[in-house]
Amino acid sequence: MYLELDKPSKLKFISILCHQSKISSKVSIYINQPGEICLTKLGGFSFNDNKRSNYQAREKKQVKVDCECEKIKLVFEINYDNEINKFNQIGIIGIELYGEEISQKKIKIMKLQEEIIKLESIKKKAVEEENYDLAKETNNKILHYKDLIQKLKEGKISPDIDIDNLDINNKDNKDNNKDNNNNSNDNKNKNIIEENKKKEINSGDGTKRIVNRKKNVEKVSTGVSTNEKDNNNRYMKANSGPIDVDKQKVGNTLTFSQMVEKELSSNSQFSPYNNNNNNIQKNQSKKDISSITDDDREFINSIGQFLPEDILYLLVSKNVKEIEKAISSINEDLKLYNNNGQYQLFINGISVNDLVYTCSSICIQILKKSYIPPKIQIIDIMNILLDPKYIEVIQVIKEFEDCLISLLDYLGDSNQKLREKVEKLIFDYAKKTKSGNKIINLIINTPIKKNLIKSRNHLNGRYLMVSKIVHFCGYMKNNFENIIKYAINGYALNKINVRDAALEIISRLYKYEGEKIHQYFQDSGLRPAQIKTIQDKIDEIDSKNNEKKNKEQDNNNMVDEEHTCEFCGFYQPNITKDELNIHQYKDCPMLMQCTNCKQIIEISNLNNHLLNECDFKDKFIKCNKCKQVVEKDTINEHQTSENCFDVNEDKEKLCPLCHLNIIMDDIWKIHFLENGCEHNNRANTPSTTNASNFNK
C-alpha cells in the first residue's frame, strides 16, 4: 500500500487499526525522504493473532517514526490462519498519520546541502586529478551555497529562490536585475552614486591619486595588483621566519590534498566569510556543521583521533543512508582486520582497548537516534567484539557496559529483527564471558524508561532473558534472593505474558533451590489464587521428577548392563563390549581425557584427579579462593582474574570446565547431557545425540 503526502512533511506517528480476524502477521514501513527517489526501510511491527479475544476485538498499533518523508509504503505480509478468514485476506480498518509540514525554507536548505555533498565529491576528484581550475570553481560554488544556507536561516533572502536554475557565474547579473526592479528610487540612487564617485587624477611621477570627495581622504595606488601584493607579503614572511606558504609553522606536516584545500580557500575570489571572521570554522567539515549539536561535537571529539573526519560526520548525519554507509565501512574494516591483520579505516597501531572504546561509543551514539536500520547494523559490530581476542577487554571497558544497558531498552521491541539481534547479543555476551550473573543484575537494577514502564512486551522481554540466563548460564548463590524477589514482583503484575515469564523463573529456581523458595512467595503479599498457581507449578515439577525417578529405578532394575554405558546411560541393544569401550574412550560426554597423563576420567572428578592421581600432580595446586585446581606457575595470575571468586565448597560445586555452579550432585547429568557444557568437546558427539535411551 502506497501513501503519498500533499507536501513533504515530518511524520511523527503512524497509527493502524486492523481487522478483527483478517490480520497481517507483520507490517513493514518504507519511506522516501524529500529529494530522494529510492525508498528506505525503517522497520516493521507485528499484530497479535487475536485468538485470546476469539476474534472480537480490534488491535490498534501506533508506531513512532519521527522522520521526514513524501511517500510511505506499507507492506502487509501473510495473514494469520484462522477459521473465520477462509480466503486468507488482510483487512485494515483505518490508517492515521500524525506530523507537520516541512517549511519551504527547510526544503530549500536540504536541497542546497545535497548539492554541496555532490560538489564536494567533484572537488575531491578534481584535486586527485590535479585539475585545480575545476577544483577552484567548484570550491567557489560550495562557498556560495553555504552562504545561501546561512542567509536562508537568518531570513535575509526569500525561501522562494529558484535553486535548480541558480548559477554562481550570473550572480552579478541577477543582483543587477534585482536592483532594476526598484523603479521608485533608481534615479535618486544613480545621482548619489555619481556625486560620490571616486575620481582618478594622474600625478607627475606616474602614480594614480584617488580622491574620495565625500570623505576627503587620499589613497595612493602603486600600480601593483592586490594578488601580487599578497604574494609578495607571503614571500617575505616565508623568508623572515619559520612560516611556509600555507601560514603553517614548520614541522606541522600537511598532506598534498590538505595543502591544495588550504590554497583554494585562501585564494578564493568569492567567499561569503571574508567579511565575518566569526563564521570561519577551523576544521570545516564536508557537511553543514551548523546542524551539528553539542552532543555530536562531544562525541566527535571523544573518538576523533581514531577515525577519519568524514566517517565521524557521517555518523552524526541526519540522513539514514549516510549513517548506514559509515557503519558498513567500520564493519568491513573490522572484518578485514580479522583476515589480514591490518585496519584500513582505523588509525594504524590502535590498541584493542581504544578499538573497543571507539566501537562502544559509536553504539551508544547510534542507539540515541530513532532510525531502526543503523541500530540493527551497529549490533553486528558489537557481535564482532565478542571474538576471543576482544573478550577480556570488553569486560573492563565501561562504555561497553553502558552499551549493554542501552540495549536493554530493546528487549521485547516491536521490531522483530532488532529484538532478536539484541536478545542474541546479550545472551552470547553472558555465555562467552561467563557473566550471566552480571547481566541478571543489570536487568534487575537498571531503571525502566518512562515510555516503557507500561509496555507489556518490554517487561516480558526482560523476564524471559533472566529466565534464559538462569537456565543456561546459572547464577551466583548470593544473588538468589534478588532473582526470586524480582520474579515474584513480576508475577504480581496484571500482565499475562509477564506473569508467565516470571513463573518460569520461579520454577527454574525451584529446581536448584528446592523448598527454600517457599518462604519468599508466602510473605510477598500475593493473592491466595496466585500462590496456589505457583504451588500447582511446583507440584507439577515434583510429579515429573518422581515419575522420572521411578522410571530410572525401573530401568536400573531392568538395565542391560552389557549394552549400556554406566556413566551417561547410552544404550544400544546390539553394541559389543569393544564398541562400548570405544564410546567411553572417545564419545561419552561424562568422561574426558586428561591433557597431562592421557588417562580417561570422569569430568566431575577432574580436580581430585589432578591433585592426587595424575602422573603430573606436582604441577598443580588448589586455589584457596575458588577451590579450582590450577598450575602452580599461574596461581598468582589466576587469583587476580575475574574467573577466580569466593566459593563455599560445602554448599557449592563448580564445573571444572566452564566454572558454572553445580548445586546438587544429580545436576551433573543435566549439565552435561541436557544443557550441554559449552567447554565439553564431547557434548554433541553423534553417538550421544543419536542415542535411543538415556538412563539418568
Mean pLDDT split into 10-residue runs, the chain, 696 residues = 84 90 91 75 87 86 86 89 87 90 77 84 86 88 86 76 54 43 45 43 39 36 39 37 38 45 44 34 41 82 87 89 91 74 76 90 90 91 88 89 93 92 93 88 92 89 93 84 92 89 91 84 81 89 78 60 81 84 87 89 88 90 85 86 68 71 60 72 51 36
Number of domains, the chain: 5
313 vs 293, 299, 302, 432, 676, CA distance in Å?
A: 12, 10, 13, 34, 46
Give the pLDDT score at 294. Answer: 82
What is the number of residues in the chain? 696
d(CA 57, CA 424): 33
**CATH number of 485's domain:** 1.25.10.10
521 in Cβ contact with 531 (< 8 Å): yes
Give the pLDDT score at 446. Answer: 93
| Residue of 76, 95, 94, 91 whose CA lies nearest to 5 | 95
Burial code (b: 16+ CB inside 10 Å, e: under 16) for 655-691 equals bbbbbbbbbeeebbbebbbeebbeebebbeeebbeeb
688 in Cβ contact with 565 (< 8 Å): no
Query: For 38, which DSSP code?
Result: S
Give the pLDDT score at 517. Answer: 87
CB neighbours of 254 closer than 8 A, spacing ≥ 6?
Answer: 246, 248, 262
User: How much is the pTM?
Assistant: 0.47
Q: Residue 415: inside a domain, yes or no?
A: no
Q: Residue 422: inside a domain, yes or no?
A: no
Give the pLDDT score at 309. Answer: 85
Q: Residue 171: inside a domain, yes or no?
A: no
CB neighbours of 523 closer than 8 A, spacing ≥ 6?
Answer: none
d(CA 174, CA 185): 18
d(CA 9, CA 4): 11
Give the pLDDT score at 74. Answer: 92
Q: Residue 416: inside a domain, yes or no?
A: no
Radius of gyration of the chain (CA): 36
Give the pLDDT score at 558. Answer: 54
Q: Are residues 457 and 604 in the same domain?
A: no
Q: Are residues 353 and 254 in the same domain?
A: no
596 in Cβ contact with 616 (< 8 Å): yes
Give the pLDDT score at 240. Answer: 37
Three-state secondary structure string covering 467-496: HHHHHHCCCCHHHHHHHHHHHHHHHCCCCH
Q: Residue 156: inside a domain, yes or no?
A: yes
Q: Are residues 520 and 639 in the same domain?
A: no
Q: Are residues 144 and 47 in the same domain?
A: no
Q: Residue 172: inside a domain, yes or no?
A: no
With H, G, I as helix, E, B as strand and everything else as coil, classify residue 360: helix
pLDDT in tens, 101-155: 877 777 778 778 878 888 888 988 888 888 888 888 898 888 888 888 888 877 7
CB neighbours of 522 closer than 8 A, spacing ≥ 6?
Answer: 531
Q: Residue 410: inside a domain, yes or no?
A: no
pLDDT in tens, 7-20: 788 888 899 999 99
Q: What is the dihedral of CA 642, 644, 649, 655, to 10 degrees?
A: 80
Q: Are residues 381 and 451 in the same domain?
A: no
State which of 553, 581, 606 marks the end of a domain.
Answer: 553
d(CA 551, CA 693): 12
Range of the domain at 233: 107-165+205-279
The cell 536561516 sits on which residue?
153
Give the pLDDT score at 682. Answer: 76
